[in-house]
Structure 1
Amino acid sequence: MKKILQIVLICITIIAFAQNKEIIKLKGSIPNNGENEYIALHVIDQRIDKTIGILPFDDHKETREVVFETSPNDDLGNWYRKSNYKGGKQELILVLKELKLSVKESGGTRDFGTIDFSVQAFAKERDEYHFLYKKDTVFAFSGKNVSDIMVKNIHHIFSGFLSLTYNKKPNVDILTINEVSDYEGYIKNNYKIFKTETLKDGVYLDHISFFKQIPEDGNFVLEKNDHGGGVVRAIAEKDGKKRKISASKMFAYVENGKAYKKVSERFLELNRNENGFYLLSKPADIFSAQVSPFAMMGLAGVLIQSIATDRTNNDAVKEIYIDPLTGEYDISDENLNKLIQ
C-alpha cells in the first residue's frame, strides 16, 4: 500500500510538472529575402543559465516555466526550414548567448516585464565561419498579463533578428569554431585598434576598416566648408587623377591622431576609454526617427518604442558607444532600469 501511494504521488508530481510549462510557439513565416542563401539554420546554445524564465500566468494564479518545445536548435532550425527551400552551400549559425524573461509585479493592474536577448549570427561553409550580425538588447513590456504578452512575442523578436541578418554581408575574416564561440575575444585580440593608442590618419568607409585601422589608400586631403569648418569631402590625387569621397560615404576619419565619427550631416569627435569608443552627445542628436525592424515585426504591447523616445528626446549628454562588432550605436539602459525597478 505504501509503495502504491508513493507511485501515485510520483505520477501526480510528473503530471503537475508537465502542466507547469509554457511552450514558446514559433509562428509565421521567416523567408530569406537576402542575397545569401542558407541550406539550414543551426543554433549553438551558449546560455550560461538555460532557464528562460519561471513566470506568473493567469492573473498570478499559476507559475509556469517558459521553455522551447524541444530545443533552440531543433525549434529554430525547423522553423527556418519550413519557410526556405532554396538550398545553398552555406549554413546560418546562431549563437544564442541570452534569452531571459522576467516580471516585476507592480501591485496594480499592469506589471512590467523584460526579455534579455543576445544572439550572434554567422555564415558557415565547410569548417569556415564568417560573422554576419549580432543583437544584444533588452525588450520591455507592460500589461495585465505581461508574461503571456512576452511569450507570444518571442517569435517576433527572432523573426526581426533574422530579417536583419538576411541582408548582412559576411565579414571577410575566416573564423574557426573556437573563434565563433568567443567572437568578442577574437575582435579584441586581432583588430589593431585594441592594440595601439595611436590612430592612423585617414578616411574610413566602414567600422571594420576603422577598428582594423586600415584607412582608404591614398593621401587624402580633407576639404572643409567655409562656415563651421565641417568636412564635406576628402580628395586624393594619383597619376593625375582625383578620387573624391563625400562625407556621406565616410564612417569616420582620423586627423592628427583624433577620430571623428559621421553623425547625420556632421562629424563628432570619438572619445575612448576602457569600455571602447564613444560619442559625447544628446541621444536625440544621434538617433534618427526610423522605425526599428523589430517594431515592424508586430511586437504586441512592447514598450521599447516609448523607451527609445524617452531616451532620445532628452537634453542629457550621454556616452554613446560604437559596437565594434556591428558599427551600430549603443547606449545604457538606465531609463529602462528605472522603469522596471
Structure 2
Amino acid sequence: MKNIFLFILLSASLCAQKTETIKLSQSVKSKKHDYKSFTVIDQRANQEIGSVMYHKDQVNIAFENEAAKDLQNWFYGDNPVRGNDELVLLLENINISEDKHEKYSIAKLEVRASTFLKKDDGYHFLSRKDTVATVSSRTTPYLAQSLAKKLTLTFSELLKNTYRAKAWDFVVNQDELSNYSTLLKDKLEIYKTDSLKDGVYKDYYSFFTHNPEPGFIIETNNKGIVTKAVNGKEKTPIRNFYAFVYKGVPFKVIPVGYVEIFRDEQGLFIEVKKEELFPEANSSFMMVGGGIAGLIGSVVANVAIVAIDAKAAQKRRAMAGTEVSLDPFTGNYILPEDFGKSK
C-alpha cells in the first residue's frame, strides 16, 4: 500500500512538471559570408535555464537536446559548410526567473552571448547580445512559450548582427575568452587618452578606438549648434554619425540631437531623458538645422536651446536626466532598470 501511495505522489509530481522546448525555427542564413565552421562554446556554470508556472504546473524552458548542439544544427541548417571563415559563439548566460505576485507574475529572461571570428592569431570579437526581457502574465498568459520565442529571437538577432559586423583588430586567445570583455576594454583608446581628436565617428567601433573619419570638418549654424560634417564637396548631416568630438568635447548623437559624453572609472555614459532617446511622434521636441535638435545635454547646448526656443529649453530642464552607459561592445545604451520611471 505504501509503494502505491509513493507511486501516486511521484506520478502527480511528474504531471505537474512540463517542458517548453526552445524551437530554433527562424532563418539565420547569411547572405554575405560563407563559413567553414560554426563552433559553440558553452561556458555557463549552470546548464539549467529556468522555469515558470502555468496555473499549477511548473514549466521548464529547455533546448531539445543541449544548447551547443541545437545552436550548431540550427546554423548549419541555413548555412551549408563552405568558405574559409571560422565563426565562434560564446554562450555566457541564459537565465529565466519569475517574480510572483498575488494575481499575476512577471518572468525575466537574461541572455548574454558573444560571437568571434577565429583566425590563426586567435579570436577577434564580432558582436554581442547582453539583454534582459520581461513578460507579464497579465498580457501573456503562457509565459513559457513567450520566453522561448524571445530566446530564439535573441539568438537570431545576434547572428544577423554578426554577419554585418566588422571583426575587431584586437585579439584574445582561447584561454582568455572567459575574461575577454575586460581584456578588450583595456585596449580601447577612448578610455586611455586625455586629449580627444576633433572630428566625426561613423560607428561605435571607430569612436571607442578613437579613429575619426579622415578629412571631415565639423560645421555649426549661426546659433553655434553643430549641424554637419564637411569633407570637400561632401556634406553629411551630423545625425548620420555615431558620435563626434568638437573643441575637445565628445558628444553622442541621439534621436533629437546630441548630448555630451562623460567618463568615469566604470566607462562612458551620457545624461539623458527617456523622451530624448525614445521621442514620441507627437512630441513637442523639435528638429533644427540639418536634423539636429535643440534638446541637448551640455551647458553650452542648453544655451543654444534658449536661443532657439525658450519653451523647449524650459521643458527639458523640468525633466529629470538619468545616467545611461554606452556599451563598448555594441555601441548600444545600457539602460538602468528604473529608466524613465518617476522617482
> 1:276 aligns to what?
267
| Aligned counterpart in structure 2 of residue 195 of structure 1, from 192, 195, 199 | 192
> 1:83 aligns to what?
78
Q: Classify 1:166/1:213 alpha carbon distance in 2 versus 1 (closer, same or farther; 3 Å).
A: closer
> 2:285 aligns to what?
none
| Aligned counterpart in structure 2 of residue 131 of structure 1, from 125, 133, 136 | 125
Deviation at 1:271, TM superposition (A): 1.6
> 2:111 aligns to what?
117
Contact 1:112 1:142 in 2 (8 A): yes
Deviation at 1:140, TM superposition (A): 1.0
Measured in 2, the distance between the counterparts of 1:27 and 1:224 equals 49
> 2:87 aligns to what?
92
- SS of the equivalent of 1:259 reads strand
Alignment pair present for 1:260 and 2:251:
yes
What root-mean-square deviation, in Å, do the aligned CA atoms of Structure 1 and Structure 2 show? 3.5
Contact 1:260 1:269 in 2 (8 A): yes
- SS of the equivalent of 1:333 reads coil
> 2:298 aligns to what?
none
> 1:303 aligns to what?
none
Deviation at 1:102, TM superposition (A): 1.0
| Aligned counterpart in structure 1 of residue 241 of structure 2, from 240, 250, 273 | 250
Measured in 1, the distance between the counterparts of 2:280 and 2:332 equals 15
For normalisation by structure 1, the TM-score amounts to 0.74
Unaligned 5+ runs, structure 2:
282-317
- In structure 1, what residue type is equivalent to 2:53? P
Q: Classify 1:156/1:168 alpha carbon distance in 2 versus 1 (closer, same or farther; 3 Å).
A: same
Contact 2:20 2:59 in 1 (8 A): no
1:243-270 Cα distance to aligned partner (Å, 9 max, x none): 7552244332223331112224633211
Measured in 2, the distance between the counterparts of 1:336 and 1:34 equals 38
**152-161 or 204-213: bigger deviation:** 152-161
Deviation at 1:278, TM superposition (A): 1.8
- In structure 1, what residue type is equivalent to 2:338? E
| Aligned counterpart in structure 1 of residue 336 of structure 2, from 328, 332, 338 | 332
| Aligned counterpart in structure 1 of residue 135 of structure 2, from 141, 144, 148 | 141
- SS of the equivalent of 2:331 reads coil
> 1:38 aligns to what?
35
Q: Classify 1:169/1:47 alpha carbon distance in 2 versus 1 (closer, same or farther; 3 Å).
A: same
Deviation at 1:89, TM superposition (A): 1.6
> 1:28 aligns to what?
25
The percentage of aligned residue pairs carrying the same residue is 28
> 1:227 aligns to what?
223
Deviation at 1:213, TM superposition (A): 2.1
Deviation at 1:228, TM superposition (A): 4.5
For normalisation by structure 2, the TM-score amounts to 0.74
**110-119 or 176-185: bigger deviation:** 176-185
- In structure 2, what residue type is equivalent to 1:113? A
Deviation at 1:162, TM superposition (A): 2.4
Q: Classify 1:251/1:173 alpha carbon distance in 2 versus 1 (closer, same or farther; 3 Å).
A: same
Q: Count residues with an aligned counterpart.
A: 299
Contact 2:243 2:252 in 1 (8 A): yes
Measured in 2, the distance between the counterparts of 1:221 and 1:31 equals 40
Q: Classify 1:71/1:280 alpha carbon distance in 2 versus 1 (closer, same or farther; 3 Å).
A: same
Q: Classify 1:46/1:245 alpha carbon distance in 2 versus 1 (closer, same or farther; 3 Å).
A: farther
Contact 1:111 1:145 in 2 (8 A): no
Unaligned 5+ runs, structure 1:
236-241, 291-313
